[in-house]
Amino acid sequence: MADLGDEGFAKTQSLYALSVLSPHDVSEPDTRNLLGPDPTSIHPPAGTPPSNPNHLPPRSFKRGKRRSTAARTLWQATTLLLFTGIPLVCGVIMYLVLYPHTNSMTDDGMSYCSTSTLDPDILVDLQLSFEQARIIDITWNIVLGRGIQGIVAVIAYRLATQTLVRIGEVTPVPYDFFISAAFFPTSLTSILPFCAGMWGIKGWRPKAAVSWLVLTIILVLAVPLLFDAMTGYVQAQDYMAKLDEGWAPYWKWYVHVDYEDGPPYWNKTSEAWILPSSFADDPSNFACMPKVEEDDGLVSYRWGMSFAIFQATIFTLIAWGLGSWGLWMDARHNCQQQRKGRKLNKYSAIYDLGGAMKEEIGPNGGAYSGTEMAKALKKRDPVMYTLEESDDGTARLRLSTELGGKLRLSFDRAYK
């Protein structure tokens, strides 16, 4: 045998070692990881218990108590009432609190002084100072405007997370879409990722669901504006007729249609001025003047709401509630994870997203900025929920670029 020397002997030993090691002992670096290869080259065999006792063990989904048909129907009706109850509550508040103390502009002549159909036309029957009217208006905007916005935002968050899981089980979604729907579903900045993701996902139902999420964001942002525009305060005014004897308020005169021409005259029976139709045809004979209180001589204000904007707001909230309830029911009944009791929140979203990111860009991201990671992820394929089978009979539920077909979960097996 020829003398190989120290260098030749070392090469021979290395080749021998590689020839006897199993494929699980030596792994090729993952070329998908732009942030560097995985330094871990030796993997423990499947079924090995975790070395850290604090790690959660694999387990199966918990079976919930099976509801009767009547119980499910009652629950569906309750959720429908929750989604559509917001505008109903607004209507009840208006009827019980405001309506008994209001009158329309037509009742006190102020309709003639209104310049727009969007002006407050249902006014509280109170003479208010400017400060009082302003405080009432600000309180309305904070309590109802911001309060209902908060309720709609909470519902929108739960709706977006459930819809995200539902879509992620049937079609891949981009990373930006997943992040926006999981963490910022009511933010204005999420509209662009939603619209971009809508063109990338497959199927008309997921596209329609994403479109509804975009409309939900717009509604969440518009609720305070709608309630602010709904109410307002106006200076109390009287619609006056200019007579030779001076200005007469609207309750002191009326136009007689059969009296076409002639001077205005005082009717002792009705105790009002009778105006001819020719007099009423000239707008210069009338004017709106500030109503001055007799006791203090100050100008008063009236607070109220625009019935047109109120109707538009209520119908908009009802329509959104019905559509969102349908989307909610679809996720509850057709989403595998929802049916098994796994709900997506910020912790489960971080767990799912972190596993997918580490699989795609590797574990060596300590020195990389978030912008650099985002650029790397934009070059990756979209992700969806799949199952990774294990040799020990368990399965790993994960978010991955590997397409695994339609997701099927069972109560009879353990998942990692």
Q: What's the pTM value of the predicted model, to 2 decimals?
A: 0.74
SS3 content of the chain, % helix, strand, coil (to 5): 50, 15, 35
CB atoms under 10 Å from CB of 278, counted, come to 13
pLDDT (average), residues 229-250: 78
HSE-CB of 276 using CA atoms within 13 angstroms: 9
Contact 335, 323 (CB under 8 A): no
Spatial distance between the Cα atoms of 304 and 125, rounded to a whole number of angstroms: 9
Closest CA to 309 of 215, 228, 233, 234: 228
Does residue 105 carry a pLDDT above 80? no
> Tell me: the pLDDT tens digits for 358-387?
988 888 888 999 899 999 998 889 999 999
168: tokens are 């992620």
Enumerate the domain spans of the chain.
5-60+355-400, 69-233+306-337, 238-290
CA dihedral 265, 270, 272, 273 (to 10 degrees): -20
Average pLDDT of the chain? 79
Please state, for a pLDDT cut of 70, what percent of the chain lies above it.
77
Q: Give the model's pLDDT for residue 174.
A: 93
> Tell me: the pLDDT tens digits for 293-322?
666 656 778 888 888 888 888 889 989 999
Higher pLDDT, 3 or 402: 402
Phi-psi region of 5 (alpha: psi -120 to 50; beta: other; left: phi over 0): left
Spatial distance between the Cα atoms of 77 and 318, rounded to a whole number of angstroms: 15
Closest CA to 88 of 296, 266, 317: 317
Helical (H) or strand (E) element with 155: helix 147-168
Q: Give the model's pLDDT for residue 70.
A: 83
What does DSSP assign to residue 46?
Answer: T
pLDDT (average), residues 11-34: 46
Query: Mapping DSSP to helix (H, G, I), strand (E, B) and coil, where does residue 246 land?
Result: strand
